[in-house]
Amino acid sequence: SQYAYEGEHEGIQERIYGEEDFIIFNFAPASYSEETETVTTAAAPVGDKPDFGPLSDDLYSFQIQVNDDVYQFPMSYADFLAFGWVYDGDETESISANSRTTTNVFKNGDLKCYAGLTNFDVNTRPASECHVVSIKFDSFLLKDADVKITLPGGVEYGGDLDEAIAQYG
């Protein structure tokens, strides 16, 4: 017997599909559309950056500022590339339905980061059709870069540890 549930709870779109032998839970931001467009690197030229406004003070805004650019997660792969990032991998690589990767290396000039890609769809999609849901910088990847990274509340990479603890606990 087959069953399905679709609904929205606290801004998250929920889909649950199942049959006798399996069940799939699929969660996405409520604004996510089932209509997926094919995206390639050429579809998002540098300079076509999305405007997410100023960096929020709210920790749960899922924002980060890198130099002068504010990023809002999750964001489409194309929007991430519009900030000048280039995937150091195969963007046609398949990502299974409702799956996530965490160690995809992206480069932007001297900057390097790890980005998490998630496929919110119920079908397998190439990386270029997925969403960037996280970004990770570490001192090894930043060793040759001149960068200012700021979190909500004004906490900066390389800043005062006590200030960061006061803001984030």
Predicted model pTM: 0.71
Asked, as a colleague might, if the bond just before 74 is cis with ω within 30 of 0, I would say: yes
Cα–Cα–Cα angle for 58, 64, 69, nearest 5°? Answer: 125
Q: By percentage, how much of the chain surpasses pLDDT 90?
A: 50
Look up tokens 């089932």; give the residue: 34
Quick: pLDDT tens for 105-163: 999 988 999 999 999 999 999 999 999 999 998 888 787 788 999 999 998 888 888 88
Quick: pLDDT tens for 29-61: 555 444 433 333 333 344 489 999 999 999 888
